Amino acid sequence: MSQILLLLIGILIFLLLSAAAVFLYYRRLNSSEDVLENNSQEGSAPSVNVSQSYIQDLESMLQKAFEDAAKSATARLETEFKSTLTELVQQNDALVQSVKQLEDSFVNEFRSSVGNMQSELVQNLSAAVQQINTKSNEMAVAVQSLEEATKNKIEQALASVVGNIESELSGTGSNIKTQLKESVLSAVEEEVAGFKSAIDQARQETVQSLTQIYQGVEEEKQELEAKMRKEVESRRKKMLSKIDDRINDVIVQFLVENLGDSLDLNDQQEYIFKMLEENKEELKKEIHG
Amino acid sequence: MDNGTKIKLPSFISSHEQVYFYIQELNRNRSSVANQEKIKEPLRSYLIGLSETDEISATLIDNFLEVLIETKENAPRFHVVFADYPEREIRTKITSWFRNNIHPRALISFRYDSLLVGGLVVRSRNKIFDFSFRNKLQNSKLKPVDILENVAK
């Protein structure tokens, strides 16, 4: 606040100085016009050069005055601002110290009061606990007596109710028995009949599906048998052809192994020359052809 | 008898290899009479048999060489295979048969293959004549497989 006030005072001083400068300027201007009017009335020619230099002097003087005023105002403002700032700092320090003192005293007071309150509370609580204990003991005794009384009353009421129900039941029991028997029998008969029909239906369905399965199995069996016969036949043929391929070699080997040297070439001469004679023409063709 | 065209090829020279061997032998020994005496049997006896004297003349050797060279280059060749290697007697008989019935200078080389069981196989340049027992077994109308099948039934 004090800074704003100082600023406002400075602005007010500046405005006053400006107003004074403007006033002085107009006053000088009026006096020069008066001089000009006097000169014209005296019949002499107006001196334009004198008035212009005069105006310039006035302007420079005005500017200087304005600048001086501004400088003094700012210097004054600065000194005032500095002094107020130092004052403010001092005030702030004092304020901080007083706040600290206040805080310490408040904390001490608070602690003492809290301690007092705590001791009071503990005393009150122990007293309350003692009261609660005594009250609860009293309540337990009261509840026990109430339970006993209630139990006796309920037993009496139940005995009377049971006696009434027994007498009523003995009258209606036989009727209910016969009705129940009849209704149960009819329900059982109905259920049995429904069960029988359901079993018959299930049996028929089962028989039907079993016959279908049997037929399918039979067909598959026949197909498999046919396939197997075909496979066996083809394998037999393959094996026979394999045997056919190898059996001659086996027999030849067998003969070679068993006959050995016993098959003499001299004994074969008749056969050899017979074969040569039979194929003589073919052999000749080979040479001449 | 010195004329080469009338000389027969002896049966102990049966194969192409033997012809080649005797050509070498005669070329080695034809230069002098002393060498002619070194000609090995049975060729020596054969050549003396062909000569009108007891000596083997150079002309006879030349004529016989001509026959051998001609045979080596142009004679038809046969390979005869037996189940066992044939003795000389059979080899001679076979060679004589070929030269009497097929061609007078036919060359026969002998082989053996025990798998033939018996009989023979004659192989010429273009054809095989199989008279072996193995071939007879293989081409038999009664197949072993049929026999086995009948036994199985």
Q: Which chain A residues have a beta carbon less than 8 Å from that of B133? A: 255
Chain A residue with CA closest to B133: the answer is A252
Residue A46 pLDDT? 47
pTM: 0.44
Closest CA to B10 of B62, B50, B60: B50
Interface test with A, best of B116, B122, B140 (most A CBs within 10 A): B122
> If DSSP codes are grouped into helix, strand and coil, which group holds residue B41?
coil
Interaxial angle between packed helices B43-50 and B16-29, expressed in degrees from 0 to 180 and rounded to the nearest 10: 70
Q: Do B119 and A259 touch (CB under 8 A)?
A: no
DSSP-assigned letters across all residues of A42-64: TTPPP-HHHHHHHHHHHHHHHHH
Min Cα separation A237/chain B (Å):
11
Q: Do B115 and A253 touch (CB under 8 A)?
A: yes
pLDDT level of residue A230 (50, 70, 90 thresholds): very high
Pairing of strands B77-82, B107-112: parallel
Q: Do B101 and A276 touch (CB under 8 A)?
A: yes
CA dist B55 to B33, B37, B46, B61, Å? 9, 9, 12, 11
Exposed/middle/buried for residue A41 (C-beta within 10 Å: 0-12, 13-18, 19+): exposed
Query: How large is the ipTM?
Result: 0.83
Q: Do A251 and B144 touch (CB under 8 A)?
A: yes
**Tens-digit pLDDT profile for residues B31-85:** 766 667 778 888 888 888 888 777 788 888 888 899 999 999 999 999 999 988 8
Angle value at C-alpha A231, between A230 and A234, nearest 5 degrees? 85
Q: Do A265 and B148 touch (CB under 8 A)?
A: no
Pairing of strands B120-123, B128-130: antiparallel
C-alpha–C-alpha distance, residues B137 and A110, integer Å: 137
Query: Which H or E element spans position B80?
Result: strand B77-82
Closest CA to B47 of B16, B25, B15, B69: B25
Q: Name the more confident of A141 and B3.
A: A141
Q: Which chain A residues have a beta carbon less than 8 Å from that of B90? A: 265-266, 269
Q: CB-based contact (8 Å) between B152 and chain A?
A: no
**Tens-digit pLDDT profile for residues B73-132:** 999 999 999 988 888 899 999 999 999 999 999 999 999 988 888 899 999 988 999 999
Q: Which two tokens stand for residue A227?
A: 């396939």
C-alpha–C-alpha distance, residues B141 and B114, integer Å: 23
Q: Which of B119, B129, B138 sits opposite A279 (nearest CB)?
A: B129
